[in-house]
Amino acid sequence: MIPGFLFLIFMLRVLPLFFINMKRRLVKSPKIYLRDSGILHDFLDIRNMDDLSGHPVYSASREGMVIENILQKMSDRTAAGAELDLVLEKGRKRIGVECKASLTQQVTRGFRNVVDDLELEEVYIISPVRQSYPVQEKVTVSSLHEFLKKLDTV
């Protein structure tokens, strides 16, 4: 057995596919995240934000960190969505979450189609912004901190 292998098994989060009667399935496999971005950064010898911001793993690392924080806040199960990083369901309310590392966001036609196909009530693009702002109807760009506060009211 590989030393540390058992330890790492419990550090992975697997988000299964989530789709609702869609004509095409865009994502064919579940998403797998290392639950502790600090461990990932240590493996990759990333020591500070300068190292991380220029690294190809930055976006995936941020996505995993955002998802872990959201899941800690939510009591209900979640699933990965096509073209979205996360779909949260609480009762009959369905919220989409997209994780982005950049400050500027654009909503594409494909993104809009997924929002409509999944019948999402709200969609949040979690980005390293200081203040939340609406992008279009149902879609808000938000910091992780503000989004986690919003979850308290959902």
Helices (H), 1-154: 5-9, 37-43, 49-53, 58-73, 109-117, 144-151
pTM of the model: 0.58
Spell out the per-residue pLDDT of the chain, length 154, in tens. Answer: 344 444 445 577 777 776 655 555 555 678 888 878 888 888 889 999 899 988 999 988 888 888 888 877 764 444 444 457 888 887 788 898 988 888 888 787 778 878 888 889 999 999 999 999 999 889 999 999 999 998 887 6
CA distance 8 to 94: 31
122-126, strands of its sheet edge to edge: 17-18, 78-81, 84-90, 93-99, 122-126, 139-142, 133-136
As beta bridge partners, residue 70 has: none
